[in-house]
């Protein structure tokens, strides 16, 4: 869906390119998270996709179309855009803010009204309560939800998200992340998501692109990056607790021993993560947990040994 080939951007007065011959592809319906140290080129890369920043070299394809030959205004109206500062128009109601792009595209009033209500419901905000309010009447988390709804208004196939939850308190941020994952599971938009938070990248991304000095260092699934960092820089960047981070991606049901094992009085849901399971084993000083499905039926036993087996991976720096 999105293809970057040899993408390069230089800014005047800088010794090196902000983005240096970057090549990567984002599959349709996937979320690609761009992450790296400050100044690595992640935001510049994302902003070149909708030509908020013009590239100096290389190509950008969206759905097979080279966007460098498309009118920038037309392009931006076809791509959803969510930013950290939200950018709602303070003099407009919530409904009017969400309707911005459909109105520019010439949709009729009935279609716009229906779309606004549908999107408010999608982001868990009752249309009757929120449609006619103004941004100043909402909390930061609510305004961010409206920002997401506005980006989805014209049903764009591609969305760009620049630190969308970065200015929100940790509890609200976690809730918004979960809400967005729910929406994405249903809509399957193609998303480029910029963050500086590796935990957010692991949670939100189907694939993570780790950048350094404008160049791509590793591009893979969160689990693969945590299990097999491409080099020492990636290993350091993802953190010394990468084993625990990886456990948060693995579910208990997939690693439970189905042979019966020792029945434990302590239970855990099959959908819980191995990180949750490890925590429970340590807190309860237990040898194993009984894993149950949604109906409460036993599906197997999860022991500390099974968790060790799940995380035992060969170091990328050791010989084959």
Q: Which residues pair with 60 in a beta bridge?
A: 4
Q: Per-residue pLDDT averaged across 248-261, rounded?
A: 82
Predicted confidence (pLDDT) at residue 316 exceeds the cutoff of 70: no
**Among 28-37, 59-68, 80-89, 149-158, whose mean pLDDT is lowest?**
80-89
Q: Specify the higher pLDDT residue, 33 or 248.
A: 33
Pairwise CA distance, residues 219 & 211, whole Å:
9
Mean pLDDT of the chain: 90
Asked whether the predicted pLDDT for residue 143 surpasses 80, the reply is yes
pLDDT band at 320 (very low <50, low <70, confident <90, very high): very low
Q: Check whether 319 has a pLDDT greater than 60.
A: no
List, in order, residues 6 or more apart from 185 with CB less than 8 Å away.
none
What's the mean pLDDT in 101-123? Answer: 94
Cβ atoms of 135 and 155 closer than 8 Å: no
Which residues 6+ apart lie within 8 Å of 175 measured at CB? Answer: 141
The whole-number pLDDT of residue 263 equals: 63
Sign, CA dihedral 54-15-20-224, equals negative
Confidence of residue 262 (pLDDT cuts 50, 70, 90): low
Q: What percent of the chain stands above pLDDT 70?
A: 95
Query: Any idea which of 19-33, 34-48, 79-93, 274-288 has the lowest mean pLDDT?
Result: 79-93
Phi, psi of 265 (to 5 degrees): -75, -15
Q: Model confidence over 51-105: pLDDT tens digits?
A: 999 999 999 999 888 998 889 998 998 899 988 766 789 999 999 999 999 999 9
**111-140 mean pLDDT:** 94
Which of the pair, 318 or 237, is modelled with greater confidence? 237
Can you list the positions of beta strands (E) in 156-214?
158-162, 190-194, 207-212
Q: Provide the residue count of the chain.
A: 320
Encoded tokens for 37: 């140290």
pLDDT of residue 188: 94
Min mean pLDDT across 8-12, 118-122, 239-243 is at: 239-243
pLDDT value of position 22? 97
For residue 304, the surrounding DSSP H or E stretch is helix 304-311
Whether pLDDT at 250 is above 70: yes
């Amino acid at each position: 869906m999105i293809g970057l080939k040899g993408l390069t951007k230089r800014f005047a007065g800088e010794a090196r390119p902000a983005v240096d011959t970057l090549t990567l592809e984002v599959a349709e319906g996937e979320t690609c998270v761009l992450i790296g140290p400050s100044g690595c080129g992640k935001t510049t890369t994302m902003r070149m996709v909708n030509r908020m920043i013009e590239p100096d070299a290389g190509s950008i394809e969206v759905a097979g179309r080279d966007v460098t030959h498309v009118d920038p205004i037309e392009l931006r109206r076809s791509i959803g855009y969510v930013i950290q500062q939200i950018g709602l128009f303070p003099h407009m109601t919530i409904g009017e803010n969400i309707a911005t792009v459909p109105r520019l595209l010439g949709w009729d009033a009935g279609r716009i009204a229906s779309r606004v209500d549908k999107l408010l419901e999608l982001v868990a905000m009752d249309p009757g309560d929120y449609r006619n309010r103004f941004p100043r009447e909402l909390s930061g988390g609510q305004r961010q939800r409206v920002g997401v709804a506005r980006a989805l208004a014209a049903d764009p196939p591609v969305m760009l998200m620049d630190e969308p939850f970065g200015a929100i308190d940790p509890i609200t941020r976690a809730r918004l992340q979960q809400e967005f994952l729910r929406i994405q599971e249903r809509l399957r938009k193609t998303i480029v998501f910029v963050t500086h938070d590796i935990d957010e990248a692991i949670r939100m991304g189907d694939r993570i692109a780790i950048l350094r000095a404008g160049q791509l260092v590793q591009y893979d699934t969160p689990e693969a990056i945590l299990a097999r960092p491409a080099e020492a820089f990636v290993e350091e960047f993802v953190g010394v607790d990468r084993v625990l981070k990886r456990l948060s991606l693995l579910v208990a049901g997939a690693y439970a021993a189905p042979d019966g094992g020792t029945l434990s009085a302590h239970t855990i849901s099959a959908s819980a993560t191995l990180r949750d399971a490890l925590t429970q084993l340590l807190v309860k000083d237990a040898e194993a947990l009984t894993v149950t499905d949604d109906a409460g039926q036993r599906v197997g036993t999860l022991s500390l040994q099974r968790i060790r087996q799940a995380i035992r991976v060969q170091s990328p720096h050791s010989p084959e």
